């Protein structure tokens, strides 16, 4: 077969196919999403799905492993926080079919809230970890990860980073090999995590790790590239590629693919061969600390630092002090920050929130995080997926116990986030009588990660029609008797909905509902707005809606016809009625 150019994520999907994986479940999150977007290519032999959240996805995949088939889950680094509970217990129980958890970390936070280093999870949960450094390894190492999982009775954390996941390189494809599926037998001792069973499982976990460490010292996933013995480099993941580029060609390398447990005898053997030893890794001194604790001197983080992703130029400067020749042309570019798209349904909602100085609004993770940016400036906090409702609850309680009755608290999240982990926040508000208006911004899709289906969108990952769960039915089931459904593009109705919810005698919630304009399978009422320059007085009120299609030049508003979709939110705020939608 010819070589093809694949991203790391595409190669992982291909690897799952070739490894004989049969069940896969995930929740989208950058930079992991494309793994599962590519799995339906193999839907004839590999069932794949979007789960409501990463914990559910992990449990589904792990259940499939208990059921005897090879299974896969994948998530961004913070998704592993959500899934940590089943992961830690799966590490004690072990597997039947091979079970791999992909953690896609995001050094430099290209699209994340932190740059946590998930290698620590493997160590802390006591499970195997495999780290690929390019697309070929993404495919080949994934297949090896299933063998490790089954041989050593452990889940495997398959850890990538943004540059491994999203970079494209050449991959030699292979054929699918079906993995044997044993007959299903109930195994209470192994899979029921009572304290007595866990007590017996823990020593097995320690034994398995020891056996895996010994095996890892001879595995082809960990390899020495011996050249001149003056300088040796230990590296893994994408940092290996940077180090290969930066260190002289005659440098010796120990390239690690299995990084938990670290193959310490192999490391010791390599360290003994070289005069000067470097450990090159992004983020935390995960390998370096363990190598030093084993009594092996090495150089690492004192030069490379703890933060942000590496690149060859940065690494060259850190190690050899060679600064790249960088030219300053003397003209600065203006930033192009991410903003809500023209016609985004969230705009009308956030415009309404921003007009009330007494509103306190706890937001969430999604496109609507952009409601925090000026000029909308309508959010007080964003913490995590599903935190919108529950953080709002804490704010309301803080105001309540300190007698600050002038604040009106809203908790805001999207439809996909509601199904992910917002429902429990709604239950909390109802159960503990929170003075909070929960708001679901229902645009019928998982927007920010690039339009994945969710339990409310009516379709599955594999493109089949699915039950479409109604947000209002869930909220009513939680006890919100007054669920107000409003079109956020109608600013008067939006304001009325907010006031009605605040005045409601019974528990009230708002659903701000309009589909995302970028959903391809839906028909949208696309039009265009135009400025009547005779009426426009250049007051710039239209700029307060934060639409990238509007600008004001020479005291007249201008609408970019290439961007405008005719949502009319700007027209509704114009005091001179100078903006109209064209017929």
Partner 1 sequence: MKEVKSALLVGVGGQGAILTARILVNGLMRAGYDVKMSEVHGMSQRGGSVSTQVRWGDKVWSPLIGPGAADIVVAFEKMEAVRYANYLKPDGVAVINDYEIEGATVAAGLAKYPEGTLEAMQAHFTCHVLNAEKIAHELGNPKCMNIVLFGSMVKALHMDDIDWESVIADTVPPKFRELNLAAYKAGYDAV
Q: Which residues contact 185 (CB under 8 A, 6 or more apart)?
A: none
Closest by Cα among 55, 95, 59 to 187? 95
Which CB atom, from 409 or from 531, has the smaller least distance to partner 1? 531
- What backbone torsions phi and psi does residue 491 show, to the nearest 5 degrees? -65, -35
428 — phi, psi (to 5°)?
A: -60, -45
Shortest gap between Cβ of 410 and partner 1 (angstroms)? 23
Comparing CB distances to partner 1, the nearer of 332 and 401 is 332
Judged by CB, which is closer to partner 1: 372, or 552?
A: 552
With binding defined as CB under 8 A, does residue 328 bind partner 1?
yes
d(CA 213, CA 379): 49
Instruction: Identify which of 495, 487, 486, 485 has the alpha carbon closest to the alpha carbon of residue 573.
Output: 495
105: helix, strand or coil:
strand
Distance of CA 409 to the CA centre of its chain: 27
Which residue's CB is nearer to partner 1, number 108 or number 435?
108
- Smallest separation (angstroms) from partner 1 to the CB of 3: 8
CB atoms within 10 A of CB 210: 12
User: Per CB under 8 A, does 168 bind partner 1?
Assistant: yes
Q: Does 113 bind partner 1 (CB under 8 A)?
A: no
Instruction: Name which of 154, 159, 153 is nearest 141 in CA terms.
Output: 159
Task: Select the residue interacting with partner 1 from 113, 311, 400, 504 (CB under 8 A).
Answer: 311
CB of 517 to partner 1, least distance (A): 10
Does 463 bind partner 1 (CB under 8 A)? Our answer is no
CB of 367 to partner 1, least distance (A): 7
Q: Which of 25, 30, 65, 154 binds partner 1 (CB under 8 A)?
A: 30
Q: Which is nearer to partner 1, 338 or 477 (CB)?
A: 338
**Contact region with partner 1 (CB under 8 A), list: 95-103, 501-509, 544-552, 567-575:** 544-552
Q: Which residues contact 365 (CB under 8 A, 6 or more apart)?
A: 113, 382, 384, 385, 387, 417, 448
**Per-residue contact flags (x/-) with partner 1 for residues 502 to 541, judged by CB under 8 A:** --------------------------------------x-
Specify the stretch interacting with partner 1 by CB under 8 A; choose among 225-233, 332-340, 433-441, 482-490: 332-340
Please answer whether residues 218 and 245 qualify as being in contact, where contact means their C-beta atoms are separated by less than 8 angstroms. no
The residue among 238 and 501 lying less far from partner 1, judged by its C-beta, is 238
Q: In the set 330, 406, 503, 521, which binds partner 1 (CB under 8 A)?
A: 330
DSSP 451: -
Q: Which stretch binds partner 1 (CB under 8 A): 28-36, 124-132, 390-398, 488-496?
A: 28-36
- Minimum separation from the CB atom of position 369 to partner 1 (A): 9
The correct pick among 372, 548, 580, 581 for binding partner 1 (CB under 8 A) is 548
Residues that contact partner 1, how many (by CB under 8 A): 62
111 lies in the site for partner 1, by CB under 8 A: yes
Distance from C-alpha of 9 to C-alpha of 36, rounded to nearest angstrom? 8
Q: Which of 434, 574, 433, 408 is nearest to 499 (CA)?
A: 408
SS3 161: strand
Q: Is 87 helix (H, G, I), strand (E, B) or coil?
A: helix
- Residue where the block lists tokens 């339990």: 455
In the complex with partner 1, which residue's Cβ is closer, 157 or 448? 448
Cα-based distances in Å from 518 to 23, 447, 524? 30, 9, 9
Q: Could you please report the per-residue DSSP string of 223-256?
A: EEE--EEEEEEEEEHHHHHHHHHHS-TTEEEEEE
Options 65-73, 253-261, 333-341, 507-515: segment touching partner 1 (CB under 8 A): 333-341
Q: Which two tokens stand for residue 489?
A: 């593009």
In the bound state with partner 1, the residue whose beta carbon lies nearer, of 110 and 535, is 110
Nearest Cα residue to 115 out of 271, 305, 303? 305
Gap between the terminal Cα atoms of the chain? 56
Question: Which of 1, 188, 293, 329: binder of partner 1 (CB under 8 A)?
Answer: 329
Q: Nearest CA to 415 among 482, 512, 497?
A: 512
Residues 398-457 within binding reach of partner 1 (CB under 8 A): 448-450
Q: 299-311 as b/e, with b when 16 or more CB fall inside 10 Å?
A: bbeeebeeeebbe
514, two tokens: 């309009």
CB 58 within 8 A of CB 87: yes
- Considering only the stretches 89-97, 335-343, 433-441, 521-529, report the one whose residues sit in contact with partner 1 under the rule CB under 8 A: 335-343
Nearer to partner 1, 188 or 325 (CB): 325
Residue 332 as a binder of partner 1 (CB under 8 A): the answer is: yes
Minimum CB separation of residue 416 from partner 1 in Å reads 15
What tokens were used for 180? 């044997």
Select from 78-86, 190-198, 369-377, 456-464 the region that touches partner 1 (CB under 8 A). Answer: 369-377
Q: Which stretch binds partner 1 (CB under 8 A): 145-153, 214-222, 280-288, 547-555?
A: 547-555
CB of 340 to partner 1, least distance (A): 7
Q: How far is the CB of 543 from partner 1 (least distance, A)?
A: 5
Tell the residue number behind the tokens 């000026």, with chain if given: 374
Three-state SS string over 22-88 comes to CEEEECCCCCCHHHHHHHHHHCCCCEEEECCCHHHHHHHHHHHHHCCCCEEEEEEHHHHHHHHHHHH
Binding of partner 1 at residue 318 (CB under 8 A)?
no
Query: In this chain, which of 69, 83, 441, 549 binds partner 1, going by CB under 8 A?
Result: 549
Q: Decide whether 20 or 28 has the Cβ nearer to partner 1.
A: 28
Residue that the structure tokens 């002038």 belong to: 406
Asked if residue 350 binds partner 1 (CB under 8 A), the reply is no
Helices (H), 342-381: 346-354
Minimum CB–partner distance for residue 343 and partner 1 (Å): 10
Q: Is 154 in the site for partner 1 (CB under 8 A)?
A: no
**How far apart (Å, rounded) are the C-alpha atoms in residues 423 and 434?**
14
Of 231-290, binders to partner 1 (CB under 8 A) are: 238, 241-242, 244-245
Q: What are the residues binding partner 1 (CB under 8 A)?
A: 3, 5, 30-31, 33-34, 110-112, 134, 162-163, 166-170, 238, 241-242, 244-245, 309, 311-314, 324-341, 367, 370, 374-375, 448-450, 540, 543, 546, 548-552, 560, 563
């Amino acid at each position: 077969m010819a070589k093809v150019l694949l991203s790391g994520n595409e190669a992982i999907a291909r690897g799952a196919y070739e490894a004989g994986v049969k069940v896969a479940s995930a929740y989208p999150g950058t930079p992991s999403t494309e793994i599962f977007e590519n799995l339906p290519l193999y839907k004839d032999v590999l069932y794949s799905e979007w789960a409501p959240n990463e914990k559910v996805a992990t449990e589904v995949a792990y259940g499939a492993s208990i059921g005897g088939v090879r299974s896969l889950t994948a998530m961004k680094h913070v998704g592993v926080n959500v899934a940590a509970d089943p992961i830690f217990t799966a590490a004690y129980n072990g597997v039947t079919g091979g079970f791999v958890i992909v953690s896609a970390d995001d050094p430099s936070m290209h699209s994340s809230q932190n740059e946590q280093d998930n290698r620590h999870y493997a160590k802390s949960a006591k499970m195997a970890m495999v780290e690929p450094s390019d697309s070929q390894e993404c495919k080949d190492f994934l297949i090896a990860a299933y063998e490790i999982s089954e041989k050593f009775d452990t889940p495997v954390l398959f850890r990538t980073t943004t540059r491994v996941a999203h970079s494209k390189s050449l991959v030699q494809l292979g054929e699918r090999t079906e993995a044997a599926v044993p007959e299903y037998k109930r195994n209470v001792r192994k899979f029921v995590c009572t304290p007595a069973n866990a007590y017996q499982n823990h020593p097995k976990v320690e034994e398995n790790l020891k056996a895996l460490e010994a095996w890892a010292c001879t595995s082809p996933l960990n390899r020495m590239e011996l050249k001149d013995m003056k300088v040796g480099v230990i590296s893994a993941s994408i940092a290996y590629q940077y180090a290969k580029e930066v260190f002289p060609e005659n440098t010796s390398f120990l390239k690690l693919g299995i990084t938990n447990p670290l193959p310490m005898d192999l490391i010791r053997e390599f360290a003994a061969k070289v005069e000067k030893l470097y450990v090159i890794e992004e983020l935390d001194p995960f390998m370096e600390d363990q190598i030093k604790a084993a009594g092996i001197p090495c150089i690492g983080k004192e030069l490379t630092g703890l933060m942000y992703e590496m690149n060859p130029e940065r690494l060259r400067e850190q190690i050899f002090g060679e600064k790249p020749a960088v030219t300053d042309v003397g003209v600065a570019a203006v930033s192009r920050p991410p903003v809500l798209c023209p016609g985004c349904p969230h705009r009308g909602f956030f415009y309404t929130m921003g007009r009330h100085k007494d509103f306190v609004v706890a937001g969430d993770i999604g496109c609507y995080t952009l409601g925090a940016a000026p000029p909308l400036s309508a959010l007080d906090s964003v913490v995590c997926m599903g935190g919108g409702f529950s953080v709002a609850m804490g704010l309301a309680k803080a105001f309540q116990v300190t007698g600050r009755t002038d604040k009106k608290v809203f908790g805001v999240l999207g439809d996909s986030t509601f199904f992910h982990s917002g429902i429990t926040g709604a239950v909390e508000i109802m159960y503990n009588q929170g003075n909070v208006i929960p708001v679901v911004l229902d645009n019928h899709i998982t927007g920010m990660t690039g339009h994945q289906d969710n339990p409310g969108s009516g379709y599955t990952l594999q493109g089949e029609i699915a039950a479409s769960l109604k947000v209002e039915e869930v909220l009513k089931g939680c006890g919100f008797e007054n669920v107000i459904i409003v079109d956020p593009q109608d600013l008067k109705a939006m304001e009325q909905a907010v006031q009605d919810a605040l005045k409601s005698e019974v528990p009230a919630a708002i659903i701000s509902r309009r589909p995302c304009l970028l959903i391809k399978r839906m028909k949208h009422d696309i039009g265009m707005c135009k400025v009547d320059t005779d009426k426009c007085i250049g007051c710039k009120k239209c700029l307060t809606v934060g639409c990238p299609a509007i600008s004001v030049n020479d005291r007249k508003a201008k609408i970019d016809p290439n961007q405008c979709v005719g949502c009319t939110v700007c027209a509704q705020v114009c005091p001179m009625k100078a903006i109209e939608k064209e017929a």
